[in-house]
Amino acid sequence: MMDTVQVALRIRPLLDFESEKGCVSCLETFSDIRQVKISNNAFTFDYVFDQDVSQQDVYESAVKKLVLQLFKGYNVTVLAYGQTGSGKTHSMGTNNSSRIEEKGIIPRAVEDIFEHVSSDVEWEYEIKTSFVELYNEQLYDLLANKPKEQCIVDIREDSRGIVIPGLTEIAVSSAQSTLQCLDMGSCGRAVGSTAMNSKSSRSHAIFTIYLNITKKSNSSEAMSAKFHLVDLAGSERLKKTNSIGRDFKDGIDINKGLFTLGKVISALGEGSQAFINYRDSKLTRLLQDSLGGNAFTIMIACISPADANHYETLSTLRYAEKAKKIKNKAIVNQDRKAAEIAKLKRENEKLKLDLLARGGIGNKTVCPPEHLLLSQKIKMFSKALKDVLAQNASLRERTLIDENACNTLKQKISMLNSECNKVLDSVCDTLGEDQIKKLCQLKAHILDIQAEQKRSEEEINTQVIYFDTHQEINTHQDFDPVLNEDDEHHLMRQNDYSKQLKELTDNLAWKKQLVSTILFSNSQMQLMSKNDLQQLQEQLAALEVEKEELENQLKNVKFNNNSKIAGQRQNLQELEQKNFKFNLSSDGTG
């Protein structure tokens, strides 16, 4: 279903500090013709909500009918855009005010969804929710129960469109549990204070509700839908916000992302047939389905009436006018297997009618040989299609597993490199030259593996992008049950690519095993270093003991020598006395 992006303009009231500064309104509104005028420029939108329009009126008039499209299997996006302090978060209700009259779009939509689900007796619903924040080009999972630095997730693309591997999706069964998820995620958002807004959102936030819908009487009839509620960070003029430090850098990053989004909106609004580059920013990649893709989308353009904000207000109006020209193509998101079965059934019925139309005699139908051949080929291709779908699902599952393993492997290699550096620094003075040389060789080997792992990762990403691109092209082509030479050649190429992917997967597994071996070798080297240090310490202790024994022996020798000398002196004195007495006696006798 082709439909343009709808735009609802919402004008907030003048704020107290603006009135105190003498600001006046620079806008003229004509609600009956849905038009607003600023200076000599007039703009017409799908909805124009003046300053006195309530939150409920905005939701009831512009958003509620789009919410009903979810139950038909269509994707829906509500996107709030405007300068900082223009009322985006208030309009969306991301802060989930407890006052009924202040409730924004998100809580009102959530209540309507569960009210419809509770009253629907024909369909069964499975509902999940997620909440992500894009801050400084890093995507954070706001519902992950981890420290923020561990909540970074990345964007991938496959045949289903944009996917975020590892994103937390919480099953919800009521409006209350859904809004609890909203509150939990909102607490983790990046905010800052500027001269324009004391609680300025410094990030883009996307709150998503997923619906899987199955018919109770026939489980093969199934649909799915996504409801994106986007609260963009406000565009800023840095001179007016007086931002410094981190807030200044945040403002630059915010404006950069919004500038890239503006380029995409301009290209889509002009109906350009050229390639639209969504990859320049993560913000445009996240909004790829919502702008020019498979969704019903409404932009809530929030503006300030103050003449001091004349430039920003005019910029927002021009931005919204371009968005109004974007054409989306919303389609029902049916279960793939169910849709394929229904398609084959329709083709089968058509073939039967064609056979009957070609006539027959009585109740017997004459079937031309080419129809029999076609019927056989249909059976063969149906079986082949089933096998390919199963193989494709298995390969994609393995690819996601290998991606996670590859990321883990990358972290382990980095940790191993750091640990090796620490070991070199700590034991270089105690180990011999040969052992240090072995450690240096081990470090060089680790760096080689790290480079090889990076090359392999780039090769795998290139192959995945190529496969996804060709698969997307194939899904938009009509199915022809008769293969021509080009189709056969294409199948052969697909088979070759499958073999290449298997080789890459095997190569990755081999490298994982090699890194495990190196990790073990490194641990052995560390153990060897520890054992050497322990032996040296034991030898040093033994030498200390031996030194003390020698010192004690030396003291004993000195003491014994002194004792012997004293004894010898005493003996000598005794001999001298005896000799003196002998001499005296000899003289008397003579």
User: Which positions make up the binding site for ATP?
Assistant: 82-89
Q: SS3 string of 391-433?
A: HHHHHHHHHHHHHHHHHHHHHHHHHHHHHHHHHHHHHCCCCCH
| Block residue for tokens 């390639």 | 275
302 closest CA partner among 576, 4, 8, 69: 8
| Block residue for tokens 């005019």 | 314
Question: What tokens does 540 get?
Answer: 């040093």
Amino acid making up residue 298:
I
**Distances in Å between the alpha carbon of 248 and those of 16, 188, 189, 195?**
25, 20, 17, 12
Based on its alpha-carbon atoms, the radius of gyration of the chain, rounded to whole angstroms, reads 40
Q: Sign of dihedral through CA atoms 547, 553, 557, 559?
A: positive
231 closest CA partner among 78, 10, 110: 78
CA distance 429 to 417: 20
Amino acid making up residue 202:
R
| Residues forming a β-bridge with 138 | 135
Q: Binding site: what residues are annotated?
A: 82-89
What spatial distance separates the first Cα and last Cα of the chain, rounded to whole Å?
159
- Cβ–Cβ < 8 Å for 17, 197: no
Residue count of the chain: 590
- Cβ–Cβ < 8 Å for 234, 287: no
| Residues forming a β-bridge with 79 | 230, 299
CA distance 536 to 202: 58
118 closest CA partner among 127, 107, 106, 129: 127
CA distance 63 to 57: 10
Q: What is the DSSP string of 119-138?
A: H-SSEEEEEEEEEEEEETTE
- Cβ–Cβ < 8 Å for 67, 77: no
Name the CA dihedral angle for 9, 14, 15, 19, rounded to a multiple of 10 degrees.
Answer: 160
Question: What tokens does 94 get?
Answer: 């991301």
How, if at all, do strands 123-135 and 170-171 pair? antiparallel
Helix (H, G, I), strand (E, B) or coil at 292: coil
Question: What tokens does 27 get?
Answer: 């806008």
- Cβ–Cβ < 8 Å for 75, 136: no
**Distances in Å between the alpha carbon of 247 and those of 147, 193, 204, 242, 530?**
22, 8, 15, 9, 49
Q: Which residues of 69-109 form beta strands (DSSP E)?
A: 76-82
CA distance 335 to 213: 10
Tally of CB atoms within 10 A around 412: 15
